[in-house]
Amino acid sequence: MNSEINNKKLAQQMLDNMEGIDFPYARNRLYFHEWKPILKEIPSHTNDVLITDTHKISIGYFSNGWIFNDNDYSGIITHWMELPEPPK
């Protein structure tokens, strides 16, 4: 139960941090994926994913290293998760 509450708080922080990013569907529909530690798994594709250093959430992708969509992001990535599905 505690981890579910923490996930919802983290998702809300993610949405708050996404102001100005052109992903309106992510703010309109919460779809919770699990955070995946990069020490156990990295994305097998080059699609955008949510990334975090446990303090800030951004969007980026992995291609022989992390590529950040936020030019100001300089954290050390610890976890990632898939973007939510767009509304139908």
How many domains does the chain divide into? 1
Q: What domain range is 43 assigned to? A: 2-82
Q: Please give the C-alpha separations between residue 19 and each of 12, 15, 27, 53, in angstroms, as whole numbers.
A: 12, 7, 9, 19
Residue 71 in any domain: the answer is yes
Residue 67 in any domain: the answer is yes
Residue with tokens 């022989």: 64
pLDDT given at position 27? 46
Residue 88 in any domain: the answer is no
Q: pLDDT of 38-87, one tens digit each?
A: 999 988 888 899 998 888 888 889 888 888 887 777 778 899 999 887 77
- Count the neighbouring beta carbons within 10 Å of the beta carbon of residue 67: 12
Q: How many CA atoms lie within 13 A of 28 on its CB side?
A: 8
